[in-house]
Amino acid sequence: MSAAAPLAAVAMPTAAERAAIDRSCRGPVLLFAFSAVAWFVVHAIIAVLASHQVHAPSLFADTPWLTHGRLSSAAFATLMWGWAGLGGVAVGLWLQARLAGAPLVAGWLAASAGLVWNLALAVGLVQILVGNGSGVTWLEFPPDVNLALGLAMVAIAVCTLATYARRRPGHVYVSQWYLFAAFLWLPLCFAVANAALYGGAASGAVQAAAVAWFGHNVLTLWVTPIALAALYYFIPKVSGRPIASYPLALLGFWTLAAFATWGGTASLVGGPLPAWVPTVGVVGSVLLLVPVITVGLNQHLTLLGAFHLLERSVVLRCMVIGGVAYTCYGVLVALLALRSVAETTQFTIASSGVMHLALYGCLSLIVIGGLYYLIPRLTGRAWHHAGLIRLHVLCTAAGAITVAGSLIVGGWWQGSLLADPEVSAAAATNAALPALWGRSMGVLAILIGQLAFVRLLWRQVLPAPQRAEVELPAAVRAALAD
């Protein structure tokens, strides 16, 4: 089961073949990548406004489409389906073709799915703002928008699985398991949740269980696996070291699929379902520790003795921060599922902090790292400004840590105050206001970072100005080298 032995048997693609593979995914991947970043900016603007409203509750009081509840729903929806959805697909499509050693199959279908997806997002955002949102977290769009999104997901799954089927014979990489799984899990979970809400598959309280199941699994089976696929590719690729332990990777993947999928209903502890439902959820959430620890350990062992490479490679820096965020995310999911902890943290802002740790911390950093690697290979242009790259990564990482950290710490504080019935709900919320202010600052940092990224991406598509390109420092050139 050594990682090196099967590699020898695989005919590696030549440089020319690699270029052909990159050409095959150029259109769809750039479409997904650029629109994902645009939606991340839209998300961050909405999220800054929504977060600030908690401090200025009369802001926009005369404007129904800017009321806090709608902006919050819109912020969640654009983060999940705009940035995390499109961005994950961008990196995932490219990885799928690169790892299969074969051109992307039916790139036109993926590109069409990207257009439908973007159109659905635009319609969905307007629908939320005019008051037709469902109010269900991660499923805020009205059902017809979900149908369009779901069809796009299925089309993308078809493209990626067909590409996987054309892979070169021999070893299947760890990243390929996660890609295979994530591209199937996304439409599957989305279909199940929509069937439960709109298709009559569940009613009343069970719909709440379905929402909890989906809320957990959209993070555990799409957001983090697509990030892990990139992690398992880029860390060995950039560091030049093979994955430390193949059996450990196997254990992590199997336990994720078999046990961690059961974790969602832990959030319903003390809630309106039969007691066994949240209890199973607690067990599933605690078992998430196994995949999380194996992934963390595996990446750590892979990089052991090579941490100096972090100074040289921005891609590696993004991957390591994202990987650490994944470990923290998993540990916190397990911790907050425990009844004794949930008694304090349930219904506080801490849950939002953990979600943002997965989305801002894990997925965002890893997708951004992946985009820094793959976009120059698709456009044929080097990044033009090392300072903007540093600003982007620094702002995103600092923003992610600030948002997640202040919400989790603030949530604990809020929950501790709420435990005392003498403290009013308003007083507990007010005590958490510094944490919510921290959230506003963190989201603002993320917005600034993404604007720097937009500036960088601008120069990837527009013709360069007449003056000479800025000479890249050796460190950045090295990081971008194949």
Residue 254 makes contact with other proteins by CB under 8 A: yes
Q: Which two structure tokens, joined as six digits, stand for 227?
A: 């990030």
Residue 67 makes contact with other proteins by CB under 8 A: yes
Residue closest to 234 by CA, chosen among 293, 319, 297, 313: 319
Min separation Cβ 330 and other proteins, Å: 16
Q: CA 279 to CA 268: how far, in whole Å?
A: 9
Min separation Cβ 111 and other proteins, Å: 25
Residue closest to 206 by CA, chosen among 193, 216, 190, 217: 193
Instruction: Tell me 304's DSSP state.
Output: T
User: Among the candidate windows 31-39, 82-90, 380-388, 418-426, which touches other proteins by CB under 8 A?
Assistant: 418-426
Nearer to other proteins, 257 or 297 (CB): 257
Nearer to other proteins, 93 or 349 (CB): 349
Q: CA 3 to CA 1: how far, in whole Å?
A: 6
Which residues contact residue 331 at a Cβ distance below 8 angstroms, ignoring those fewer than 6 apart? 289, 292
Residue 420 makes contact with other proteins by CB under 8 A: yes
Min separation Cβ 165 and other proteins, Å: 8
Nearer to other proteins, 178 or 372 (CB): 178
- The size of the chain, in residues, is 482
Residue 69 makes contact with other proteins by CB under 8 A: yes
Q: Could you tell me the CA-to-CA distances from 23 to 77, 98, 233, 480 in Å, in that order?
A: 31, 11, 20, 18
Residue 416 makes contact with other proteins by CB under 8 A: no
Q: Are 247 and 1 in contact (CB under 8 A)?
A: yes
Min separation Cβ 272 and other proteins, Å: 5
**Which 188-247 positions form the footprint of other proteins (CB under 8 A)?**
188-189, 192, 196-197, 201-213, 215, 217, 221
Residue closest to 226 by CA, chosen among 187, 188, 182, 290: 182
Residue closest to 42 by CA, chosen among 85, 75, 66: 75
Residue 156 makes contact with other proteins by CB under 8 A: no
Min separation Cβ 362 and other proteins, Å: 20
**Which 339-358 positions form the footprint of other proteins (CB under 8 A)?**
339, 343, 346-349, 351-352
Min separation Cβ 77 and other proteins, Å: 11
Q: CA 55 to CA 278: how far, in whole Å?
A: 34
Residue 57 makes contact with other proteins by CB under 8 A: yes
**Which 158-177 positions form the footprint of other proteins (CB under 8 A)?**
164-165, 170-172, 177
Among 2, 14, 58, 466, binds other proteins (CB under 8 A): 58
Residue closest to 42 by CA, chosen among 108, 106, 129: 129
Supply angle C-alpha 41, 44, 45, rounded to 5. 90
Nearer to other proteins, 34 or 180 (CB): 180
**Which 270-289 positions form the footprint of other proteins (CB under 8 A)?**
270-274, 277, 280-281, 284
3-class DSSP state of 204:
coil
Residue 132 makes contact with other proteins by CB under 8 A: yes
**Which 356-415 positions form the footprint of other proteins (CB under 8 A)?**
none
Phi, psi of 5, deg, nearest 5: -55, -50
Q: Are 447 and 41 in contact (CB under 8 A)?
A: yes
Element (H, E) at 385: none
**Which 305-344 positions form the footprint of other proteins (CB under 8 A)?**
339, 343
Q: Which residue has the tokens 């194949």?
A: 482
Residue 136 makes contact with other proteins by CB under 8 A: yes
Residue 133 makes contact with other proteins by CB under 8 A: yes
Taking the alpha carbons of 400, 403, 408, 409 in that order, is the dihedral positive or negative? positive
Residue 68 makes contact with other proteins by CB under 8 A: yes
Among 12, 64, 305, 307, binds other proteins (CB under 8 A): 64
Helices (H), 240-313: 246-258, 276-287, 289-303, 309-312
Nearer to other proteins, 265 or 460 (CB): 265
Nearer to other proteins, 129 or 325 (CB): 129
Count, residues near other proteins per rule CB under 8 A? 96
Binding to other proteins by CB under 8 A, coded x per residue (else -) over 72-101, reads xx----------------------------
**Which 424-443 positions form the footprint of other proteins (CB under 8 A)?**
424-427, 429-430, 433
